[in-house]
Chains A and B, each alone.
Chain A
Amino acid sequence: MMFAAATIGLVVAMALALIRAYAGPTLYDRILAVNAFGTKTVLMIAVLGFLMGRPEFLDIALLYALINFIGTIAVLKFFRYGDLGRAGGRAEDEEGI
């Protein structure tokens, strides 16, 4: 019962994040919304594991937490430099404060 209620709450929150991802208006709004959506997905998988009585779902949640972070960084880097292979460090177009 309590897991079902928590799942419903999560689904509503995920819908809100999806609306923001759809509405934009900028690219960064979408990235932020997708990142938030990913965090909610991790929680969702964890609670679904409890709901269905299958604790092995937690391994998948852990994996999603890892991929969500790497994905966000990768997308940001891609839109900044246009490719993923560029080394880090200070970009020449970057100004100080």
Chain B
Amino acid sequence: MLLSGEFSLDHGLVLGLGIASVILVVLIAVRMDVVDHEGHPIQLTYRFIGYWLWLLVEIVKSSLDVTRRIWSPSLPISPTMYILKAGQPGELGQVIYANSITLTPGTVTVRLDGGDILVHAIAREVGDALAAGEMDRRVARLEASGIKVVERAK
């Protein structure tokens, strides 16, 4: 309904009732104390923007690299598996790290097991660059900042 782009009186009424019921349900859920830790990590939002921009640049860079590898006639690839240690203490940070690895072309997360991540890289250089650990450190910092925000809020 929101997507129809029409805001007449009856549309507004239904949307308003929808918003009201969402707020009511959230209030009840908070009061019942059934909100678990698997919610959307909203505490990270504003630190996220900086990380997203950095990740975007990385995606463009690695996309161009993989594109060059695909189009060059000699197909210069050397697929390799890497076992990496995730430097983030919490599950959320590890999931963000694993997802970032997959989102960057050239590296794919195959398995996440405790603190260990199994990664498939399209070439040795790509994997070695990931193993150098800049993304790992950035996600760890992001997660640490999020925890601080939550503790301050309590």
- Residues in chain A within 8 A of chain B (CB atoms): 59, 62, 96-97
> Count the A-B residue pairs with Cβ separation under 8 angstroms: how many?
10
Per-residue interface assignment for chain B, residues 109 to 131, with 1 indicating a CB less than 8 Å from any chain A CB and 0 otherwise: 00101001010000000000000
Nearest A-chain residue to B110, judged by Cβ: A97
10 A-B contacts (beta carbon < 8 Å): A59-B3, A62-B3, A96-B111, A96-B113, A96-B116, A97-B83, A97-B111, A97-B113, A97-B116, A97-B118
Chain B residues near A62 (CB-CB < 8 A): 3
Residues B77-121 near A (CB distance < 8 A): 83, 111, 113, 116, 118
CA of A62 to CA of B4, assembled, Å = 13
Chain B residues near A96 (CB-CB < 8 A): 111, 113, 116
B: interface residue count bin = under 10
Chain A residues near B116 (CB-CB < 8 A): 96-97
Describe B's contact surface by its main secondary structure.
Answer: strand
Chain A residues near B113 (CB-CB < 8 A): 96-97
Nearest B-chain residue to A96, judged by Cβ: B113
CA of A89 to CA of B2, assembled, Å = 35
Residues B16-34 near A (CB distance < 8 A): none
Given A59-B3, A97-B111, output 8 extra A-B contacts at Cβ < 8 Å. A62-B3, A96-B111, A96-B113, A96-B116, A97-B83, A97-B113, A97-B116, A97-B118
CA of A96 to CA of B3, assembled, Å = 44
Q: Of residues A59, A62, A97, which shows the largest number of chain B Cβ atoms within 10 Å of its Cβ? A: A97
Chain B residues near A59 (CB-CB < 8 A): 3
CA of A59 to CA of B83, assembled, Å = 42
Chain B residues near A97 (CB-CB < 8 A): 83, 111, 113, 116, 118
CA of A97 to CA of B112, assembled, Å = 8
